[in-house]
Structure 1
Amino acid sequence: MRGRSFLLSALLLSGVSTIASAQTVHRGNEQLDPDRPEAWAMHYFTATSFMTGFGQTPTLRPGQWAAAVELGHVPSLSDQQQRVGFSGSKSEDLNKSPVIGRLRGLLGLPGGWVAELGYTPPVEIDGARPRALVAAAIGRLLLERGDFSLSARLFGQHGSVSGDITCPAELAGVEDGTINPYGCRAPSDDRLRLNYYGLELTPALRHGAWQWHASLAAVRVETEVQVDALTYGVHDLSRLTAKDVLPAIAFGTTRGFGRRWRWGAEVLYVPLQVQRDPDRSTENDPLTSVRLHLRYEAN
């Protein structure tokens, strides 16, 4: 009996060893040039989460607080724009959530400073889910002359979004090589880190009940994609990183209503360079996003 048990255990271990050896684990680590298609996509979706100030920094007494909710449009990408994998030769499933939202709290500090904390709830949309996506900022009103004002903010974000990007769920296990050319065996669990920090200047001009603003920012983005995909006999755990300094421009307006409420809308424009054809020069393929903001200020 002991001999049979030993033989059975040996066969089981041998089978597990054979399965494990049949699956190759790839752990590549690549630093991308900023204009690579993969880097362009990483920066594009990071830019959708830039925590702009939505106009003039509010005047809050020390200890006074405000709360806000915001919503930004994530434009849908064309088939050509989604061909970013392997230097632009592979299509990725990048059209996930059409919007990105954030809850924001503001607190007045001594000296006219205002601190902000933003959080994107982990709501899953089409397989994409934010994970510990937290942003923060500190700013103050630098100048106020009549209807004109100038504000400055330092802001940043840390966290990630996960989803089945390199191997979407609808391709998992499909045997037709024309439909599933890279042999996706299961939905991938890829993770994009949306880390950045930057400086923003915002001149604003009041005209009646409306206040118009134009913000200019320089943002250091430090993005990373951790791939986790099963393709044929390969478990792909590649890691791609891309860093750059991006300019960002926002134009918009805000208006108060009631005693404590204020709403706003703006257009965010982030120019992004990409080289999709190695035989051609880089081109500008920017992010243009419409955003909405609603804020409540306590007494």
Structure 2
Amino acid sequence: MYLNPIRTLWGDLRTQFQADFKVNLYVATALYITLLIAINYAVDLEDSYIDGDLTNPWRPLMYAGLYTTSYYGAVWLWTHFNHRPDVWRNPKFWTFSLTGLLIYSYYAGFYGYAAWSERLFDGQLYVFAYKCLSNLHSVVTVALPLYLFYRFVDRQPSGFYGMVPKRKGLAIYGMLLALMVPLITIASFQPDFLESYPTYRGTDADEFFGIPEWIPALVYELCYGWDFIPTELVFRGFLVIGMSRFLGPGAILPMVVCYASIHFGKPLGETISSLFGGYLLGVLALYTRSIWGGLLIHIGIAWGMELAAFLQTAL
């Protein structure tokens, strides 16, 4: 049943290694991301400094500093070990890479949804509106600006950064998601898991609208699922599929380093695991030219954890 997806996955990984693997490059990149991780967790960079004040208008610029440092440092290593200084002289490389990084930096540092939540329903549903809008604001902070860039600057006929559904690879993603089910089930019995999940708690929205509680819960879960789309669109779509025109298969390593940096506010184990998960999803996106499988895994795992927590609390 799983033999063909495993062969396909292994074939894509082997193709990537043959095209991009160099011992010195991978060792240097591993040391670089290790240094970034060590600095972040030693000084609590993201939580204490960048996110110390969510209302700080400079947060997007601070995120831009973090993401550009992680990304361009990894690009420098790739160009150095592959003898490709021409990349830095290409104006389009700068236009494209800065566009993706700055859009995501603004998204990460944006806090306007708090004010939107206060105004919506005169603040009577602040908690519910806040939870939903904190996941939906990427429609205007990520999806719209990226689409405008694609429509008026990029204008590639190959599709909007991997958003075109393709059947290739879906079996692989389904297999990977199925492997996560027992892990999620085991995790759901742990007390610390139930302290964090489900992310939706009572918000009084059902009483305000006079509807069953499962309806606002479902609305929130749909918003929660949406929030995984901008991450896949930027990192696997734009920074891998889009940037591969400049870096070829070398687009994956810088994406992985930058992807790990967006996890700096999370537990160390999650940051480290993002390196392996980011690399695997990057390879699959590059060779399938689609991000739909990554969305399937991310949203499937997220909703799986929510469902497991709901079932545990209902028992």
TM-score normalised per structure 2: 0.23
Q: Which has the larger share of strand?
A: 1
TM-score normalised per structure 1: 0.24
Report which of the two structures shows the higher radius of gyration computed on alpha carbons: 1
